[in-house]
């Protein structure tokens, strides 16, 4: 049976942005409701060690951090629903959102914090070493590869930036690209080509990752040529997949303004979207920084802006 819930603030998504928005909205006495989505906790739940979230002297675990954020959101008065939103209507006032379990929310404001997902190569061996040598975030995990050899897969801005960032720690960084030309901006390419720690392997894709599977540790990458199908291998202890991200915005297609890559567009220095009363925070609108702390910051801004919107429109 469908249950109808009226709320000041509906938060869709439960990563760092969503939980932070919930904490701020609840502390402003707005009694927010948060719908978690299919992967409660978001991208941080698939990372292991986190060393760059401020406030912790010791290394913490991504899943633990998200559990703490959830606890905090609950404690200050957020209602959390382990459910996922299947439809939204931003033309009605209040907005309407329906969930898989049949909840119908009527909300005066909505905060979209559905995040993004790193694209993976989707080969079987990748799964075995995720978090044990394979990562999709150099900023998060690069530090763990001090004085080791690592590879970056991809040829866009992210891949080149990650490769350059990794030269701060790794002894050698090999960029593996499937074509003979990078997609990244020229200025980044120049920096990459000049860096003595960087080697580029052109026209190759990853065929397989290999290593110790008992105490998982990546040891080498088997490569396949895109020009003649020949095979080769390189020894590395880390591999960073940087082949792009996809924002989780399919629910909002044609309902809110997005850019050509389907990231939600927000006004400058704001989380306001093309629909007054709908705010977007975190990786769903940010293709550049993508950090837990920047997502949390945007979640805070979204809640403050929702509070201001409610004060001005009620």
Assess whether 140 carries a catalytic annotation.
yes
Neighbours of 183 (CB within 10 A): 15
Is residue 98 within 8 A of residue 84, CB to CB? The reply is: no
What's the rounded Cα separation, in Å, for the pair 238 and 160?
A: 16
Closest alpha carbon to 11 in 83, 116, 118, 93: 83
* Identified binder of ligand NAP from the candidate list 78, 133, 145, 161, rule CB under 6 A: 161
How near is the Cβ of 244 to ligand NAP at its closest, in Å?
Answer: 3
How near is the Cβ of 181 to ligand NAP at its closest, in Å?
Answer: 8
Tell me the sheet residues that pair with 140: none
What's the rounded Cα separation, in Å, for the pair 110 and 122?
A: 33
Assess whether 141 carries a catalytic annotation.
yes
Is 253 in a helix, a strand, or coil? coil
Q: Which residue is nearest to ligand NAP (CB)?
A: 156
106 interacts with ligand NAP by CB under 6 A: no
Mark the segment that binds ligand NAP (CB under 6 A) among 29-37, 91-99, 150-158, 211-219: 150-158
Residues in contact with ligand NAP, counted by CB under 6 A, come to a total of: 18
How near is the Cβ of 301 to ligand NAP at its closest, in Å?
Answer: 21
How near is the Cβ of 23 to ligand NAP at its closest, in Å?
Answer: 29
H runs (alpha helix) in 41-198: 62-75, 124-129, 138-141, 157-166, 186-194
Residues 167-226 that bind ligand NAP (CB under 6 A): 178-179, 183, 205
Which letter, b or e, does each residue of 281-309 get, where b requires 16 or more Cβ atoms within 10 Å of its Cβ? bbbbbbbeebbbebbbbbbbbbbbbbbeb
Residues 264-293 that bind ligand NAP (CB under 6 A): 287-288
How near is the Cβ of 50 to ligand NAP at its closest, in Å?
Answer: 21
How near is the Cβ of 242 to ligand NAP at its closest, in Å?
Answer: 6
Residues 230-269 that bind ligand NAP (CB under 6 A): 243-245
CA distances from 150 to 76, 91, 146, 237 (A): 43, 49, 10, 6
End-to-end CA distance of the chain: 31
Pick the catalytic residue: 49, 83, 89, 140?
Answer: 140
Tell me the sheet residues that pair with 81: 35
Nearer to ligand NAP, 40 or 155 (CB): 155
Nearer to ligand NAP, 183 or 207 (CB): 183
Pick the catalytic residue: 141, 283, 286, 300?
Answer: 141
* Identified binder of ligand NAP from the candidate list 43, 125, 157, 174, rule CB under 6 A: 157
Pick the catalytic residue: 137, 283, 286, 300?
Answer: 137
Provide the greatest CA pair distance for the chain: 67
Nearer to ligand NAP, 131 or 156 (CB): 156
* Identified binder of ligand NAP from the candidate list 60, 103, 104, 121, rule CB under 6 A: 121
CA distances from 68 to 48, 54, 110, 246 (A): 15, 14, 23, 26
Residues forming the active site: 137, 140-141
Binding site for ligand NAP (CB under 6 A): 121, 153-159, 161, 178-179, 183, 205, 243-245, 287-288
């Amino acid at each position: 049976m469908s249950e109808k819930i009226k709320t000041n603030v509906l938060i869709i998504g439960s990563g760092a942005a969503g939980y932070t928005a919930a904490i701020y909205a609840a502390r402003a006495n707005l009694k927010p409701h948060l719908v978690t989505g299919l992967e409660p906790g978001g991208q941080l739940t698939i990372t292991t060690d986190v060393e760059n979230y401020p406030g912790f002297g010791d290394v913490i675990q991504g899943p633990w951090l998200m559990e703490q954020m959830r606890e905090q959101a609950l404690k200050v008065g957020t209602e959390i629903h382990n459910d996922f939103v299947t439809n939204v209507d931003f033309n009605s006032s209040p907005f309407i959102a329906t969930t898989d379990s049949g909840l119908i929310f009527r909300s005066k404001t909505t905060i979209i914090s559905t995040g993004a997902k790193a694209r993976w190569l989707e080969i079987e061996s990748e799964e075995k070493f995720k978090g044990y040598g394979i990562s999709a975030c150099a900023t998060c995990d690069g530090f763990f590869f001090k004085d080791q050899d690592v590879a970056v897969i991809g040829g866009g801005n992210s891949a080149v930036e990650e490769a350059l960032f990794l030269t701060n720690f790794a002894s050698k960084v090999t960029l593996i690209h499937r074509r003979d030309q990078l997609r990244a901006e020229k200025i980044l390419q120049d920096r990459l080509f000049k860096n003595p720690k960087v080697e580029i392997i052109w026209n190759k894709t990853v065929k397989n990752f290999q290593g110790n599977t008992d105490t998982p540790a990546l040891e080498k990458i088997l490569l396949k040529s895109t020009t003649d199908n020949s095979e080769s291998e390189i020894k590395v202890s880390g591999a960073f997949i940087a082949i792009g991200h996809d924002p989780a915005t399919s629910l909002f297609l044609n309902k809110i303004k997005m850019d050509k890559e389907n990231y939600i567009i927000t006004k400058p220095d704001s989380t306001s979207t093309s629909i007054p009363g709908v705010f977007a925070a975190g990786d769903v609108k940010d293709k550049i920084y993508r950090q837990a702390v920047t997502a949390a910051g945007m979640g805070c801004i979204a809640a403050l802006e929702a509070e201001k919107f409610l004060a001005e429109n009620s």
